[in-house]
């Protein structure tokens, strides 16, 4: 009941301020001062993102779970990693992650750079130590030359620079110019009447209380009970009782392509996800027709996909 009340309060302020998703997705994210962008760095990051040799088995890469063909997800309920183990959570998309205030479902990484090294070390994902990863890269003369060209210095192959390169690549994975972005820019023909009605419902029902701003997430953490989940969420990071079962609000950009839904991937369809969220977070049952209209709106958040060609690895 508390989360419904707080959501209502948040919605009142949003409506008063006119602050809900009234701007299209930016064309570029902000770039940290200590990790400037360059074509060479992005290309190196792409190689590392697709290179399974960063894992202990030599068969799992970042792209194994973040597949460009599936909107940088894997379309299975929970990610499959080292020795085909199922991880604890559904794979979030990397698309537009550069606009997020924290990374992972529980927000345990503050930046893309910090996030990049997490899966490499996770036992159920890539199961590799940073020390061994760096050792393997240093044993590859071609990689050493590429790192030198990008970072310079006497010892450019490091876990810090691996993270910087992967993060630079991930900052290029932006999906602008969705039908809804064009609608916001004044093209009222960019979305259908059904989608427009769905957008009105999305606001009226209070979905916009959490899913707001250009990336359709406020970046905060809320208690979400979904079918079959016992995951205690952000509590694992903060160890605060009030954070049990809380998860970061997910972006709704490209949500029509990133099924299945929720932290455990327990809901296969977007229609089903809308019904669950309406009941669990807003305290009201959405009718089938209401859910259908909201889904039509959510489909308009699918943007232009970045072209990502598989790299030739050194």
Interval 213-240: pLDDT, tens: 999 999 999 998 787 888 999 999 999 9
The one catalytic residue in 125, 128, 196, 296 is 125
Interval 51-100: pLDDT, tens: 999 999 999 999 999 999 999 999 999 999 999 999 999 999 999 999 99
Q: What is the pLDDT of residue 284?
A: 87
Between 2-6, 19-23, 154-158, 246-250, the lowest mean confidence (pLDDT) is in 2-6
**Could you tell me the pLDDT band of residue 4, with boundaries at 50, 70 and 90?**
very low
Percent of the chain scoring above 70 in pLDDT: 93
Give the start-to-end residue ranges of the domains of the chain.
2-26+175-299, 39-170
Does position 189 have pLDDT exceeding 90, yes or no? yes
Q: Is 125 a catalytic residue?
A: yes
Q: Is this model's pTM higher than 0.95 or not?
A: no
Percent of the chain scoring above 90 in pLDDT: 88
Does position 3 have pLDDT exceeding 70, yes or no? no
Interval 104-119: pLDDT, tens: 999 999 999 999 999 9
Q: What would the 3-class secondary structure string for the chain be? A: CHHHHHHHHHHHHHHHHCCCCCCCCCCCCCCCCCCCCCHHHHHHHHHHHHCHHHCCCCCCCHHHHCEHHHCCECCCCCCECHHHCECCCCCCCCCCHHHCCCECCCCCECCHHHHHHHHHHCCCCCCCCHHHHHHHHHCCHHHHHHHHHHHCCCCCCCHHHHHHHHHHHHCCCCCCCCHHHHHHCCCCCCCCHHHHHHHHHHHHCCHHHCCCCCCCCCCCEEECCCCCCCCCECHHHHCCHHHCCEEECCCCCCHHHCCCECCCCCECCHHHHHHHHHHHHHCCCCCHHHHHHHHHHHHCCCCCCCCCCCCCCC
Q: What is the pLDDT of residue 225?
A: 79
**Could you tell me the pLDDT band of residue 280, with boundaries at 50, 70 and 90?**
confident
Q: What is the pLDDT of residue 20?
A: 52
Arithmetic mean of pLDDT over the chain: 93
Q: In this structure, which topology does domain 39-170 adopt according to CATH?
A: Cytochrome Bc1 Complex; Chain D, domain 2 (1.10.760)
Q: What is the pLDDT of residue 13?
A: 38
Interval 5-57: pLDDT, tens: 444 444 443 443 344 556 899 989 999 999 999 999 999 999 999 999 999 99
The architecture that CATH gives domain 2-26+175-299 is Orthogonal Bundle (1.10)
């Amino acid at each position: 009941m508390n989360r419904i009340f707080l959501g209502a309060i948040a919605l009142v302020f949003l409506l008063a301020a006119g602050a809900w998703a009234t701007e299209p997705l930016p064309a570029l994210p902000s770039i940290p001062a200590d990790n400037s962008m360059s074509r060479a760095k992005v290309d190196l990051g792409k190689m590392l993102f697709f290179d399974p040799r960063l894992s202990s088995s030599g068969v799992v890469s970042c792209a194994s779970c973040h597949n460009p063909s599936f909107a940088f997800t894997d379309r299975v309920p929970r990610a499959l990693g080292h020795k085909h183990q199922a991880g604890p959570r559904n794979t979030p998309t990397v698309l537009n992650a550069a606009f997020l205030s924290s990374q992972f479902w529980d927000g345990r990484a503050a930046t893309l750079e910090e996030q990049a090294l997490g899966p490499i070390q996770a036992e159920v994902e890539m199961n590799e130590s940073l020390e061994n990863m760096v050792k393997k890269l240093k044993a590859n003369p071609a990689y050493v030359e590429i790192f030198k060209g990008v970072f310079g210095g006497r010892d450019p192959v490091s876990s810090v620079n691996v993270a910087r390169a992967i993060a630079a690549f991930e900052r290029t994975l932006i999906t602008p110019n969705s039908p809804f972005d064009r609608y916001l820019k004044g093209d009222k023909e960019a979305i259908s009447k059904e989608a427009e009605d769905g957008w009105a419902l999305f606001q009226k029902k209070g979905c916009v209380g959490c899913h707001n701003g250009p990336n359709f997430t406020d970046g905060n953490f809320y208690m979400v009970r979904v079918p079959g989940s016992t995951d205690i969420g952000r509590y694992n990071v903060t160890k605060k009782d009030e954070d049990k079962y809380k998860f970061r609000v997910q972006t709704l950009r490209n949500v029509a392509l990133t099924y299945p839904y929720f932290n455990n991937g327990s809901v296969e369809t977007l229609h089903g996800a809308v019904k669950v969220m309406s009941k669990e977070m807003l305290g009201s049952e959405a009718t089938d027709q209401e859910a259908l209209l909201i889904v039509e709106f959510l489909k308009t958040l699918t943007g232009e996909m970045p072209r990502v060609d598989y790299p030739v690895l050194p």
